[in-house]
């Protein structure tokens, strides 16, 4: 029987076919998976010879993809994306609404109970800041500055999608 050298692990093995390049299925899978062309990156190749992370960094250099390890930037980006998607599904206007900007506009006072909202508290604390829609998105309200207000998480969750009779903010 003829001997060959595995193209992946470089181990000698007995050929069962004349065109065989790998000693095992494991080596075949590993050897046929193309890797990202960036030096030191071992992620699988996706598009243009790059992995997803490097492709996005190259294609969108000015966006948050340039900082993929920043969990706060990712959280804000994911929240904005989900809110735009939900608003688009309901065919209403959608803006990129920043919770902190709404909090500043409202003087960090809960739009439901009118008590102070501590901006340093974090989810899932019931007193953490939450963005409330005066006319709920599920009832056709837009995701805009004029239709949002800062609230405590507990107040917002208790209210649910009830409401909508309150006056919208005149200054968006």
Per-residue pLDDT, averaged over 116-141, amounts to 90
What confidence tier does 172 reach under pLDDT thresholds 50, 70, 90?
very low
Q: How far is 155 from 107, CA to CA, in rounded Å?
A: 17
Amino acid 77: pLDDT: 80
Give residue-wise pLDDT tens across range 60-80.
766 655 555 678 877 888 888
* pLDDT for residue 103: 96
109 confidence band (pLDDT: 50, 70, 90): very high
What pLDDT digit, counting tens, does each position of 76-103 carry? 888 888 877 776 666 656 788 899 999 9
Query: Which of 91, 84, 86, 129 lies closest to 111, judged by CA?
Result: 129
Query: Tell me, what's the pLDDT at 94?
Result: 73
pTM, full prediction: 0.48
Average pLDDT over the chain, rounded to whole? 82
Read off the pLDDT of each residue in 109-138 and give the average, rounded to a whole number: 92
Given this model, what pLDDT does residue 150 score? 97
């Amino acid at each position: 029987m003829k001997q060959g050298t595995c193209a992946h692990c470089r181990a000698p093995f007995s050929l069962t076919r004349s065109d065989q390049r790998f000693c095992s299925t494991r080596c075949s899978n590993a050897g046929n998976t193309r890797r990202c062309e960036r030096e030191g990156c071992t992620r699988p190749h996706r598009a243009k010879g790059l992995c997803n992370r490097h492709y996005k960094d190259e294609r969108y250099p000015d966006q948050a993809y340039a900082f993929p390890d920043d969990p706060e930037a990712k959280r804000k980006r994911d929240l904005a994306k989900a809110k735009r998607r939900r608003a688009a599904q309901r065919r209403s206007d959608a803006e990129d609404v920043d919770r902190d900007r709404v909090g500043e506009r409202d003087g960090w006072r809960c739009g439901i109970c009118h008590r102070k909202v501590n901006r340093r508290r974090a989810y899932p604390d019931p007193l953490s800041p939450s963005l409330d829609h005066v006319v709920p998105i599920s009832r056709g309200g837009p995701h805009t500055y004029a239709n949002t207000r800062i609230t405590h998480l507990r107040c917002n969750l208790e209210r649910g999608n009830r409401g909508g009779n309150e006056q919208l903010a005149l200054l968006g």
